[in-house]
Amino acid sequence: MGEKTVIVLHSGDMDKVYSALIIGNGALAMGMEASIYFTFWGLIRLKKGELERGPLSRMNMLGLSRLMVKQRMDRANVASLERLMSDFKELGGKIIACEMTMEIMGIKKEELRTEWIDEWGAVGSYIQEAGDANVTLFI
């Protein structure tokens, strides 16, 4: 069993992208490997200008808007998604972009933040990553 965390990020909701990156960075900080496979609505967050634009899973719940959550996160010293992503890359995290989603959604490589992407893959790439991981999550 490898010391590895492998996350499928299917959701593009802001709070779930936060969870994926916080867990990924936590794993890296504790000496594990970490990979995130961006697919479906998650992949859209890899488009230029889209990382910070996801809706909340529970928009309006508690009367919190996306902006208010961001302000509160700032005050609680939680890094921005942009910052969490660059930390993730610097710590050696691996980003896989789902090619099937690109085809379904009509997304071209040049529309994506290619500087973040380590691999263009399909489900086989995911299974290969996850097969020897000890923490596997679908977010």
Provide the binding-site residues for its own copies, judged by CB under 8 A.
Answer: 1, 3, 5, 8, 10-12, 15-16, 19, 22-23, 25-27, 29-30, 32, 39-41, 44, 55, 57-58, 61-62, 69, 72-73, 75-76, 78, 100, 103-106, 122-124, 126-128, 130-139
C-beta of 10 vs 95, nearer to its own copies: 10
- The residues, ordered by sequence, that sit 6+ positions from 66 with a Cβ below 8 Å of its Cβ are 14, 54, 55, 56, 59
User: Helices marked H in 1-139 — which ranges?
Assistant: 14-29, 40-44, 66-75, 81-90, 99-105, 123-131
- Choose among 38, 20, 137: nearest CA to 84: 20
C-beta of 41 vs 96, nearer to its own copies: 41
Q: Nearest distance from residue 27's CB to its own copies, in Å?
A: 6
C-beta of 55 vs 90, nearer to its own copies: 55
Pairwise CA distance, residues 119 & 98, whole Å: 9
